Amino acid sequence: MTGRFTRIAAIARKEFIHIARDPRMLIAVLILPAIQLVLFAYAINYDVRNVPTTIVDQDRTPASRAYVATYRGSDFFDVRGELPDVEAVDAAFRRGDVRIAVVVPPGFARDVAAGKQAQVAVLIDGSDPNSAQIGSTFTRALNTAYGQQLQATWADAQGVDMSSMGRLEPRVRTWYNPERRSTDFLVPGLMVVIIMIVTTQQSAVTLVRERDQGTYEQMLVSPLHRVELMVGKLLPWTILAFADMVAIVLLSQLVFKVPVRGDLGFLGVSMAVFVFCSLGIGLIISSVAPSMESANIAALMISFLPGFMLSGFAFPLDSIPVVLQWASLLFPGRYMMEIARGVFLKGVGWAEMYDQLVYLCIYAVAAIGLSAWLSGRRSR
């Protein structure tokens, strides 16, 4: 047993020396992840605010101006002046000047004064479906609130007592992210995606590089077992990836003010196992790739696209096709994404997420075992 640990330590030391002699690799592993986190966290934002909006007020009355003022007072709508007619709205949509147009027709004030249902047209640019859907929701909510205000004002003017009327007033409370900040949701996911991409891509070239340098065959004829070789090569990258995790957690606290409510020890153990999974995938690629270029391309394809699409980072897994939901089970990012967001936002730990950690452990053992088998098969 002591001899096995000694051999693993020797391989790990050799890998550390190789990494330390390559400044570009150190920059790619230790500095780029932090830069990527900052760039992605600022660039990707699901919070839709200040949507460019225009007004077509064809009534020109105090009542219509009071209605338009509700849009000007909202954080969601950024009212950028008025247009004379609907034809001008079409031209503004085509130029991309505005996303929403509110058209107040003639007779608006008359209908309001008579207690009738006043008609208002809200035109939305649907070329961005996400913004269009959110814009529609905000517009309906604003008009509902304004309509209730008008109804109460009209009833008071008519001497009608509405206090005895039944009313439904839902009180919505958002747990875990009460301010609904997209940054709180994105940063834990970015940590998982970035570390997966970096570790997979760096480990994907490690065996290919050894073969190119002629040292791979020397290691195979040594007393080293293939699993010892793989574990020895993984250890330095695991330590570096763990350093990345610590840096990202600190950045999330200091720069983005994202809370960490759960068990940091559980997050650290889970991340270490997740790194072994990602490195195992990289070693599988390295075992079969004929060149460093093909290894880099394969690692990018296998880590980047599934990392964003099949881990739950960009879209809820429940909303994607069933076939892709099953396919997501083949990528460790799915399990680590649950753990990271659970620890950061929900305050979970071992009791709630142990099953996800078990899946990661099984995945890590399978990935490292498969990479050892493939490397041995290639050497024969």
- Residue 370 has a pLDDT of 85
150 and 278 share one domain: no
Report which of residues 25 and 247 the model is more confident about. Answer: 247
Point out the domain boundary residue: 124, 158, 192.
158
Q: Which residues, 6 or more positions from 81, have their beta carbon under 8 angstroms from its beta carbon? A: 54, 55
* Residue 28 backbone dihedrals phi, psi, to 5 degrees: -65, -35
- Are 135 and 192 members of one domain? no
How far is the C-alpha of 146 from the C-alpha of 311, rounded, in Å? 41
Residues 285 and 355 in one domain: yes
| Residue 70 and residue 218 in one domain | no
pLDDT of residue 165: 43
- Residue 353 gets which letter from DSSP? H
Asked which of 68-77, 129-138, 350-359 is least confident by mean pLDDT, the reply is 129-138
What mean pLDDT comes out for the span 26-44? 73
Model pTM greater than 0.85?
no
Residues 352 and 210 in one domain: yes
Mean pLDDT for 368-374 is 79
* 345 and 236 in a common domain: yes
- Kindly state whether residue 39 falls inside one of the protein's structural domains: yes
- Name the domain count of the chain: 2
Same-domain check for residues 246 and 300:
yes
User: Does a structural domain hold residue 118?
Assistant: yes
The predicted structure's pLDDT at residue 362: 93
Mean pLDDT for 93-116 is: 80
The pLDDT, as a whole number, for residue 173 is: 62
Residue type, 165: M
CATH value at residue 152: 3.40.1710.10
Torsion of CA 29, 35, 41, 42, to 10 degrees: -170
Average pLDDT for the chain: 77
Reported as a single tens digit per residue, the pLDDT across 49-65 is: 778 888 888 888 888 88
CB 89 within 8 A of CB 54: yes
- Asked whether residue 356 is domain-assigned, the answer is yes
23: domain range? 2-45+181-379
| Residue 17 and residue 62 in one domain | no
Q: What angle do CA 245, 260, 182 make, to 5 degrees?
A: 90
CA distance 248 to 34: 6
d(CA 50, CA 212): 55
Look at residue 157 in the predicted model and tell me its pLDDT.
59
Residue 216 lies in a domain: yes
Q: How far apart are CA 274 and CA 272, in angstroms?
A: 5
If asked whether residues 120 and 248 sit together in one domain, one would say: no
Per the model's pLDDT, the better-predicted residue between 112 and 110 turns out to be 110
Instruction: Indicate whether 166 belongs to any domain.
Output: no
Mean pLDDT calculated for residue range 6-34: 73
Residue 169 domain flag: no
Which of the four pLDDT bands, split at 50, 70 and 90, describes residue 152? low
The model's confidence at residue 360, banded by pLDDT at 50, 70 and 90, is: very high
Q: Which residue has the higher pLDDT, 95 or 268?
A: 268
**Is the same domain home to 346 and 300?**
yes
Q: Do the domain assignments include residue 210? A: yes
Tokens 């050894």 locate to 210
More confident residue, 289 or 358: 358
Same domain, 104 and 243: no
pLDDT of residue 378: 54
Residue 168 lies in a domain: no
